[in-house]
Amino acid sequence: MVNPRRLGQSDWFVRVGCRPGSATRLAEALARRDDVSWVTISAGGSELVCSVRSLTSRQRDDLLQRLPAAGQVLTLTAHEIMYRFAGGIAQDWTGYGGPLDESQIAALTPPPVPEPDGPVTLTPGDGKLLAALGRDGRASYATLAAETGWTQGVAARRIELLRAAGVLYFDIDLATQVMGFASSAYLWLTVEPARLEETGELLAGHAEVPFVSAITGACNLIAAVICRDTEALYRYVTTRIGAAPGVRQLEISPILRRVKQAGTWMDGPRLAVAPRPLGQPVPAAARV
């Protein structure tokens, strides 16, 4: 995965209200873009939520300006991520039980990466390198050398440089439904500005929350929530969110289907080896 912030760019969450019957096709078209991830269908199948992580301003503007003109789109709101409280590293979600203790996590956690003096500039060959790693994060240096036209040594050194600069990082996708977590939702919260950081840090410590960020827009905090079932989601919202400081308003957007996660397509509740042809229906046995 690539961190666009290290390139001088920013992450965005986009909510798209769709015409009836058009959400699936539009979601799959968006998921095919390399700069779009976490594509989900919610709100009874009439809304898409996706994460836009463009590597250039031109790439981002092209998407955000073209989307409203699409025939399937009824409404669109874009929210820039100002600060992540949770969601930057794989171990931010431990709702499945936390199999590692604190000392084991510390031993496996790399040292923090210092902020670079300014945005990192990618070279022309970096595009091929990042595309190859995006397809297979375990690709060998021999494979990466063949993809880029570099030697294995050059490919290895460039990866280490991009990792040290915080541009390139490795993450893991989990099929949470297969693990027994059947209910997921986005929570769009309006929090008193003076208590925004306090509330964000509080939610980041909840086992149900793999991602929470301060955002621009009418809502100023978004949280992704993963629960065992709808009753567990209800208990979480009423007891833990209800007790959070400064929360003025809450909108719950249940996720009906994930089309794409951070770097992996979904085939029903399971991780897919490759995306299905555009418009092909989800197999009945895999539907949620």
Q: Give the model confidence (pLDDT) of 16-62 as tens digits.
A: 999 988 999 999 999 999 899 999 999 788 999 999 999 888 999 99
1-26 tens-digit pLDDT: 888 988 888 899 999 999 988 999 99
Confidence of residue 178 (pLDDT cuts 50, 70, 90): very high
* Topology at the third CATH level for domain 124-164: Arc Repressor Mutant, subunit A (1.10.10)
Q: Is the pLDDT of residue 106 over 90?
A: no
What backbone phi and psi angles, to 5 degrees, belong to 126?
-65, -30
CA distances to 16, 48, 62, 77 from 68, rounded to whole Å, are 9, 13, 11, 10
Query: Considering Cα of 98, then 99, then 104, then 109, what sign does the dihedral take?
Result: negative
Dig out the tokens for 230 from the structure. Answer: 């709808």
Confidence of residue 287 (pLDDT cuts 50, 70, 90): very low
CA distances to 2, 3, 26, 48 from 19, rounded to whole Å, are 32, 32, 10, 11
* Beta bridge partner(s), residue 253: 186
Q: Is the pLDDT of residue 98 over 70?
A: no
Question: Rounded to whole angstroms, how far apart are CA atoms 86 and 173?
Answer: 16
The pTM of the full predicted model, rounded to 2 decimals, is: 0.85
* Topology at the third CATH level for domain 86-104+174-255: Alpha-Beta Plaits (3.30.70)
What backbone phi and psi angles, to 5 degrees, belong to 276?
-75, 160
Q: Is the pLDDT of residue 213 over 60?
A: yes
Q: Is the pLDDT of residue 219 over 80?
A: yes
**Percentage with pLDDT > 90 across the chain:** 58
The phi-psi region of residue 145 (left if phi > 0; otherwise alpha if psi is between -120 and 50; otherwise beta) is alpha
Question: Rounded to whole angstroms, how far apart are CA atoms 218 and 77?
Answer: 10
DSSP state of 66: H
Tell me if 86-104+174-255 shares its fold with 124-164.
no
Q: Is the pLDDT of residue 276 over 60?
A: no
Confidence of residue 275 (pLDDT cuts 50, 70, 90): low
The domain segmentation of the chain, as residue ranges, is 4-81+261-286, 86-104+174-255, 124-164
CA-based R_g, the chain, Å: 19
How high is the pLDDT of residue 284?
46
Confidence of residue 283 (pLDDT cuts 50, 70, 90): very low
Highest mean pLDDT among 25-34, 84-93, 165-174: 25-34
Q: What is the mean pLDDT of the chain?
A: 88
Provide CATH code, domain 4-81+261-286: 3.30.70.920
Question: Rounded to whole angstroms, how far apart are CA atoms 32 and 139?
Answer: 21
Cβ neighbours around 203 below 10 Å, total: 25
Q: Is the pLDDT of residue 271 over 60?
A: yes
Cβ neighbours around 137 below 10 Å, total: 12
Cβ neighbours around 91 below 10 Å, total: 12
Residue among 25, 18, 37 at smallest CA distance from 81: 37
Q: Is the pLDDT of residue 156 over 60?
A: yes
Confidence of residue 111 (pLDDT cuts 50, 70, 90): confident
Three-state SS at 45: helix
